[in-house]
Amino acid sequence: MKRTVLVWIILLSILAAPNSPGFAAQEDPPFVIGTMTALSGNFFAGLWGMNTSDIDIRLLLHAYATMEKEARKGRALEPNRIAMERMDLSEDEHGNQVHRFTLKNDLFFSDGSQITAEDYAFSVLLLYSPEIRELGGTAPGAEPVIGGRAYQRGEAERLLGLRLIDKFRFSITIGAENYPYFYNLAYVNITPYPVRVLAPGCQVKDSPEGAYIEGPFDSALLEETLMDGDAGYLSHPKVTSGPYRLESFDREQATASLSVNPYYKGNLNGVKPSIQRLRVIPMVGIDIVQALKDGELHLANKVSFVQVRQQAERTRGISVTNYDREGLAFLAFLTEQDAVGDVRVRQAIAHCLDKPAIAHSFLGPYGKEVDGFYGLGQWMYKETGGNLPGLKRYPFDLRIAGELLSEAGFAYDSQGAPYISGASETRYAKDADGTLLPLTLRAGIPEDNTAAELTLSQLEASLEKLGARLEIKRMDIQTLLKVYYAQTERNFDLLFLSSNFSEFFDPYYTFHTDPAYHGVLNSTFIQDEELMRRALAMRASPCDDFSCYLRAWQAFQERFTQVLPMVPLYGNSYADLYTARLTGYHPENHISYATAIIEAKYR
């Protein structure tokens, strides 16, 4: 009898085991998140694009950066107490800043492998490596790190300012000339990536000349482990450190499925996600409110359209949270193109737009026109109360626009005679040989985008009255971003886009004049030394001097509006719409839904 009971106990144990072939695990259905911007699959780092939806996925997948901010509204960085045992700061004999990190010994990747100092050191060596640029990535300069310039240019195989001390300790040395810097600890803000996945057969080694990668590390290896479209770490990072791990990514459908990472320690408050599975989908073309009512969608992220928001507010069972956006919509000029390379043409285009009307039509009470490179949710804008008298503004005025076009050389009719304002024919300019060139501008806009259609239809009508022609091409957002980031032909003059700023507003590389930064960083290709100098003045503010930074920020905005690499259109608040079954969800207190969802519960 005892033997029979024992057999039954063993059998029941086998049947109940989750990994047993005889057990059919009943998983919770995924929590579905809709995004206004379709995923493009840059889930590793922002070196190949800064799609805001991709950034959210990166926040879900990667964690344990050396630095952290306590809250969305915070300004200062501090060592990440979840990942770091301590950070010691000292000066070497040359006055350079030496940051020595000691990791905690209980950090693990999603496959259960331990995270060590080697993974952090590898991240630095990888992101600054010359191979990244060989593969089409655009990385910020490595110059602040001692020996960084030589390493990034391939002139040195070892990074002098990076040292791997032991299993849980490493250090980075930043040159004294790089201080003051407002976001001073951002120099050493490092996220670990698994060396054994991205560089199999390689190890990070240390030497008196700095850390280096030993083994078959080259662009051919990274082409396979990082860039492969079906399995590379850029789009399919399967071994990660964040609250969730990637289960699948469908590039064609722009969807991603994620599940909880069982090895994740928790956020700064020690909270681990309770929602077990996520599915991220594009919301373009769907009835958002109906999808929320039907349970096909549980969370709609970053909704702007006024009618959708108001409909949601009137619908039972749907919760709405509004929060100011730290970004803006804009028309980006590709300034290497002849016509818009002239600042007067760019200014004329700005005068062709009735920005308050565009903002009101699309956003209603939730948005307003902006005149500079800022968002309504940024602390700098809030600090000024929106009072920025030094900005050059471009009210809707076709007379001024026409005068600017004539000054830019588009002052002739088809016969070469002076163009008469109000004439129905096309404006022309003369090249060096006297050949007449018509004023035809090419614009790229995302498909199914109401704000883009409103803006470009208005611009088209204005330009037609001025004797200019506007050709509009609609494309999916992935294709549009490839144009913007110079990853394909840039045969456009302007693009309609929107962007959210990093928590570290440091546009130095965004407007850097070195062609090495053209692409993901300086996407407009603007070449203005004074604009770059003013961006540098912002970053050179002492880290604790907010008033100094604010003054430099205002001076930067003034120059931005003079040279106009983009036409700023509108800033706004966002709304997250979600089922009332989701509780404890507070996007207004976080940088993204990706960090807010960790502390939320779905019942």
Is residue 501 assigned to a domain? yes
Is residue 255 assigned to a domain? no
Q: Cα Rg for the chain, rounded, in angstroms? A: 26
Counting Cβ atoms within 10 Å, is residue 431 exposed (0-12), middle (13-18) or buried (19+)? exposed
Residues 514-558: pLDDT tens digits?
998 999 899 999 999 999 999 999 999 998 899 999 999 999 999
Judgement on whether residues 339 and 200 belong to the same structural domain of the protein: no
Judgement on whether residues 345 and 484 belong to the same structural domain of the protein: yes
Judgement on whether residues 361 and 489 belong to the same structural domain of the protein: yes
Is residue 368 assigned to a domain? yes
For residue 437, the enclosing domain spans 327-572
Residues 408-432: pLDDT tens digits?
999 999 999 999 987 678 999 999 8
- The pLDDT score that the predictor gives to residue 285 is 74
pTM for the full model? 0.87
Helix axes 529-539, 546-563, angle to 10 degrees: 160
Judgement on whether residues 209 and 355 belong to the same structural domain of the protein: no
Is residue 378 assigned to a domain? yes
Residues 319-354: pLDDT tens digits?
999 999 999 999 999 999 999 999 999 999 999 999
Is residue 25 assigned to a domain? no
Helix axes 450-465, 398-407, angle to 10 degrees: 70
- The pLDDT score that the predictor gives to residue 75 is 57
Which of 197, 222, 247 is the last residue in one of the domains? 222
Which of 194, 222, 250 is the last residue in one of the domains? 222
Is residue 342 assigned to a domain? yes
Is the separation of the CB atoms in 570 and 553 below 8 Å?
A: no
Is the separation of the CB atoms in 542 and 75 below 8 Å?
A: no
Please tell me the distance from the alpha carbon of residue 573 to that of residue 578, in angstroms, as a whole number.
16
Judgement on whether residues 339 and 454 belong to the same structural domain of the protein: yes
Which of 191, 222, 253 is the last residue in one of the domains? 222
- The pLDDT score that the predictor gives to residue 70 is 57
Residue 194 reports pLDDT greater than 90: yes
- Split into its structural domains, the chain has a count of 2
Is the separation of the CB atoms in 344 and 542 below 8 Å?
A: no
Structure tokens at 573: 């608040």
The CATH number of residue 442's host domain is: 3.10.105.10
Is residue 322 assigned to a domain? no
Is residue 277 assigned to a domain? no
Residues 121-180: pLDDT tens digits?
999 999 999 999 999 998 878 999 999 999 999 999 999 999 999 999 999 999 999 999
Please tell me the distance from the alpha carbon of residue 90 to that of residue 71, in angstroms, as a whole number.
27
The CATH number of residue 122's host domain is: 3.90.76.10
